[in-house]
Every structure is written in structure tokens, then in C-alpha cells.
Structure 1
Amino acid sequence: MQAITAESIEKKRRSRSILVMSILAVLIFTTFIISMNTGVIKLTPKDLIMTLFGQGTDRQELVLFQFRLPRIVISMLIGAGLALSGCIMQGITRNALADPGLLGINAGAGLVVMLYVSYFPTTANVPVFFLPMLAFVGAALTAFLIYVLAYKKHEGIMPTRLILTGVAVAAGISAAMIVLTLRLNPEKYQMVATWLAGSIWGTNWKFVMALLPWLLFLIPYVMTKAQTMNVLNLSDATARGLGAHVSREQLKLLAAGVALAASCVAVSGGIGFVGLIGPHLAKRLVGPKHQGLLPASALVGALLVLTADTIGRWAIQPSEIPTGIVTAVIGAPYFLYLMTRTRG
């Protein structure tokens, strides 16, 4: 009877997860359609359909295929990547407030990318496709620094100490980035300031192709680690008792989370709170098991960034609000709410 009950509960959980992810997919598709018609140049539903099937004017095809669709696709990829990165960070640190932005990973990636875009044009000898690699180097060095500073012999890595160390390192890197911007000419300063605010600056297909290989490799890898992450959510002693190589698995997942965040930051700028909000909302919808939590986090993140970018392009036309500011308006109050609900 107990086995039947457990089996029925598991079946209901899976059915709920499938239903939730189906609803999220429909919401993403709906927002996708709305976003294609959001901008200074309006495209009616008829115009959209005709343009998609090659019957639009040259101007309509330029607006849709060269300006809007790349940005929409990048928004979805960024949202999925950052939310998955946040889900990994929260899982391996066992801290509900962990986020690649709060841990300083985004700042480390951003520093290297900012140095490149500040002193070299994107048409220089180093191609756009190299930006995610540069970002990964910066993020990996930052993660290593945080790990070294947070590690204590005989205690290992304590989640709270890791978070506090990450916040301190992120603050230091952010201060260094501000100092560096003071040396830029006005044109470069404006570009870097917009990037730091979280504007999706990579808005053509070459940026999509630069980001896509990273996500196509990392997302399936992370999904295969769902059961491992379930075990790592337990105490270290319990996880070792179940046969998990805790330190090795944590290091692998940390590398995957860093790579996801870094590749997204390379084309999105400083978009924060996605890695915090996405996993939390997903957990409320599908529960804590990572078999459902990981894909749900990716979908919530994609929907969040796509919606934020659409709002940013619509709110004060013909100007735009950087996507990072919109997510901050949503994420900052939610972060404070989580702070009040988190013990210790």
C-alpha cells in the first residue's frame, strides 16, 4: 500500500510538472508573438504573418528578421541560462539566496568583457564568438578567488561564508569597473554604461550563434545531473553515505554554472536577479526535485527576461529601458521578501 501511495504521488508530481511546463511554454509563445510587434515600427498581425512567409516589404523584413527576432531569441536564451545557473548555485550551496550575480560571477565575467568592448571594437581581430570565452575566463578566475577566500581547512566551504565572500568580491569588482569607466571617452562610456545597466547589446544573429553552442552543450549536461543535485541537497555526510563524490560533483556543477552565467553575461550585460527569481518561482510551481525544477527554471527564466525586454522596449517609446533595470524593479523587492522569510 505504501509503494502504491508513493507511486501515485510521484505520478501526480510528474503530471503537475508537465502541466506547469506546458503552461509556461504557451506563455513564452504568447510573449514571443507580442514582442515581435513591440517597437517604434508597428507590425500588424497580418504584417507579421506575411513577413514570416516572405511576403512582407523589405523594411518589414529588415525590422523583423534583423532587429527583433535576434533580440527575442537572445532574451530567451539568456533567461534560460541565467536561471539554470542560479538553480545550480542554490543547489550546491544549499542557500536559497545564491545567485550568479550575488556570488560575483557576473561581475567577474563582466569585467573582462567590459575591458574588451571598451578598448577593442567588436569588428577587431578577436571575433564576437570569442566573447563568451573571455567572459568564462573572468568568471572562472572570480569563482576561484571566491572559493579560496571562503575555504577553511577542516570546515570546507560553508554556504553562508561563500555568499558573503561573493558579495564582497562582487562589490570590489564593481568598484574597479566604475573606476575604469572614468578613463573612457564619451562614446565608449555611453556604451559601457548601457551594458552595465543590463541592456541586451548583442542584437544580431552572430551573437545568437556565439551563445548557442555553449547552451546546447551545457543545458543537456546539467539536466543529466538532476539526480546528483537531489543528493547534494542533503547534508555532505548523507550524500557521501549514498555514494556521491560530493567535492568532485560540486566542482563540476560549479564549473557548469559559471560557464552558463559567463556566456550569457557576454551578450546581455549586467542583468541581475534572474538566477534568483527563476529557480524560486519554479520550485513553487513544480517542487524541489531537480528533474522538474531544472527545466522549469529554464522556462521561467526565459519568460522573465523576454517579458522584461518587451516591457523595456514598449514603456517609453521611442527610447528603451535596459532589460536589467526592469528585472531589478521586479527582483529587488522579491529579494527583500526572501530575506525576511529566510532564517539565519
Structure 2
Amino acid sequence: MPTPTLAEVARHAGVTPATVSNVLRGRGRVGEATRERVLAAIAALGYRPHLPARALAEGRAPTMALMVPSIANPFYPEFALAVENALRNTGQFLIICNTDGDPVTGRAYLEQIAGTLSEGVLVTNANLDFDDLRRTESRGAPVVLCMWERPLEPPGLPCVAVDFRLAGELAARHLIELGHWRVGAIVGSKATGIHAARYEGFLDAMRAAGLDGAAAPTIFTPDTTQGGYAAARELLGRHPDLTALFTTNDLPALGAMQAAADLGFDVPRQLSVVGITDIQLASESRPALSTVAVPTAEAAGLAVKLLRELIAQTGRAAKERKAPREATVCVTSAPRLVVRASTARAPTA
């Protein structure tokens, strides 16, 4: 059976092809009755838009790309879902590119997708070279960095920033207010890596409380459950007097709680553990993880909005031969502490 065309849908609904196109894209002024008639015709005929043909006809791809470092990390599917929800009413689709943290893989995605299959690129912590991203912009495919961790230090590229230094401070302050002063730190990156701002927030809170945060036992480890597990075993083996663990992300925190259980520590009676991000697993673990929630859905919505604005600006600038505007920085609302069952007052003995 031949695939129905847009013109056939229009005849079936008794409207023009332009009206069908407007309904599909969520554009133009279409009355509710007409819209329902078009949607009924689409369903009756089984019409599916031909995306390559649409891209050729419009001179633009109907998709955005999202670059992530690891689709196995639960945060990134959650962020991708939030991006998809933000795109849902725009008539665009989402392509997810998993780089495995490899800049060569990321560069290949940028060269093959940006500007052809995708008219714009959202980038999370995918370990991509900024020069590669600027070259992508120069080819007419705008780029937006998502979840940038230092709002006061713009990267020179359009970005949506979250104050992760404050997130680290809130997590550490929570432990200090519970009476913990023998605190170990598990950082899910290198010392100068993507979690550095979170660790700096921890040090800020320790100094503010009159504690020497720099002397706190600290391990830098991969941002995984396994990394947190190994780091916690090492910290608790060397420093069994620790009463709390600060971790820069939820996955290492969950691994740390597993290690504590295997070593015979009761969480939270003997050992408190706090994370950052508030992925879904944080509330589903036992004990449920105390963490600092970051505004993931808000960041995704701002990133999509900013990218769409940049795409429109790029089109106008190309027509008018104008230089693009200075890189925009959007800052989300502040992170917030979520207290659950993995933290309690420090033991007195």
C-alpha cells in the first residue's frame, strides 16, 4: 500500500496542504475544529512526515542533537527526557549522541550531524573541545552548553549554567549542621575536572565553619557507582573515625552507601552520606539518599529555548550578513537541599 502524501491528507480533511503543514509544526493560526479534522485525517490515512524530504524542502533539519558523555549514567536519560518534553510542541525531534567521554567520537558526531541531520546542538559534559564547538557554530549550527557549572565564569559559548558551587556548599553545610566535623570527600572527577566547583563549595562551607576542609580525606574517582564504592572503601579503611561522606554526585554516593554496608557501617546511625543532583535513584535507594537537587527540567527548557533563539538569529544573520551576537549565559534557579534517610546527627561516641 503506497504511503499517503501530505496533499492526500489535505484533500481528506478538506483543507490546503499549508494548513496540514501548520498543524504538523504547531505553527500559524489554525482553528481547533480544523486542527482536529486534520489530525483525524492523518490518523485515518496513517500519514507519517518524511523527514529528509521536509529538511530538503525547508532548507533546515527538523531535529536537535544532544551530546552526552554516557547514556549509562541515569542523569543523562533524565535530562534527555526533559529536553524531549521541551521540544514536544515545537515540531522538532531529538537525536541523542553518546560520546563515551571520547572527544574523537564527539568530533565525528559534530561533523556528521550538525547542520545536516540537526540544525543545532545541545552539549552536556561530553568532553568536547571548545574549538570543535566553535567550528560547528561557524558552519551555521548553533551550540548551547547545558548544565555549565560555573555561572560566574562564562565559557565563551552560549550556555545554561547551574550554581554547582552552591550545591556543594549546601551539601557540606547540611553535614556540618548535623554535627559532623570528621567528613571525607568523594569527588567524581579529576581535581580540575567537571566536579571541581562542587568540591570548592564543600571547602567553602568547611572554612566557614572553622574546619580545615583541605585536610579532609579526599579521593578523586570516576563519576560512577563503582567509583564511589571503591573510594568509600578506601576512605573508611584508612579513616574509620569518619562520621560522614560528602560526594559530588548521586552515583558515587549510592556506591559509597553500598561500601559502607559491606564494611558494617550503619547508614545513617554511624555514617551519613550526602550527594548532589537528585536523580530518580536517589529517592528509590534504601536508605533514601539525602542530596542537593539541581533544576534539571528548568535547565533543559532554558537550553531548548536558547538554542531555538540562536537558530533563528543565525538564519537572520546569514540573510543580513550580520555577525552573531555575543554568547548568552542563562542561569537557572538555585539548587536546593533534599533531606532523606541517609543523613542524621553525628554519633556522640
Q: Same fold (TM over 0.5)?
A: no
Instruction: Say which one has the larger Rg.
Output: 2
TM-score (norm 1): 0.28
The one of the two structures with greater contact order (alpha-carbon pairs below 8 A, sep at least 6) is 1
Q: State the TM-score, normalizing by the size of structure 2.
A: 0.28
Greater helix share, structure number: 1
